[in-house]
Structure 1
Amino acid sequence: MVEPHITLDTASLSPVEEKLRGPLEEQLTSALQAATDKITHEYADEPVDTVIVRLLEQTRAGLHPDIAAGFEPDQSELRRVAEAIVRTA
């Protein structure tokens, strides 16, 4: 089972984002984990690049629209999660 976790880069956060970092990381991680679980369950031999797109779409769908609009995950980390889904399927 894939257990992704999101950690925000503190160097790129505004003062407000820094104050909200803990709850924001929890919300992002929860949305990514839910997306990972759903995609793992529904996986049907898609290529890694397709899984990456689905992960991003599903994660954003699980977030408040304002947070989703600003959510730009590290693509290499998203690929790592997608590759783990493909490998374990």
Structure 2
Amino acid sequence: MTEPHVTLDPQSLNPVEEKLRGPLEEQLTSALQAATDRVRQRYAGESVDQVTVMLLEQAKAGLHPDIAAGFHPDHAQLRQVAEAIVAEAR
């Protein structure tokens, strides 16, 4: 499984966010990759929906609260990561 990567849509960013886009993408990607590793290691037969929720919760837990509040990853892409974790465990 390839590691997830966060890419922000420049059209949805305000000017301050646009200036911080690179470091913000790195921080979000790092949090999501760490969450993926933790969920993968702790996976115990949960459904894809449960794993999707776990990924989001774990990723947000690894971020500053202000950044976590604004982190809304694409649900379909997050679900693909969850599906890969479930499939890998079978």
Do the two structures share a fold, i.e. TM-score over 0.5?
Answer: yes
Alignment RMSD: 0.7
Indicate the residue corresponding to 2:13 in structure 1: 13
Q: Return the letter of the residue paired with 1:72.
A: H
What TM-score, normalized by structure 1, do the two folds share? Answer: 0.97
Which sections of structure 1, spanning at least 5 residues, go unmatched? Answer: none
Which residue identity lines up with residue 87 of structure 2 in the other structure? Answer: R
Separation (CA, whole Å) in 2 of partners of 1:74 and 1:3? 16
Q: Is residue 41 of structure 2 the alignment partner of residue 46 of structure 1?
A: no
TM-score, normalised by the number of residues in structure 2:
0.96
- Please tell me the residue identity of whatever aligns with 1:35: A
Report the identity percentage: 73
- Structure 1 segment 8-87 matched on structure 2, within 5 A: 8-87=8-87
Aligned length: 89
Q: Cα distance, 1:2 vs. partner?
A: 4.0
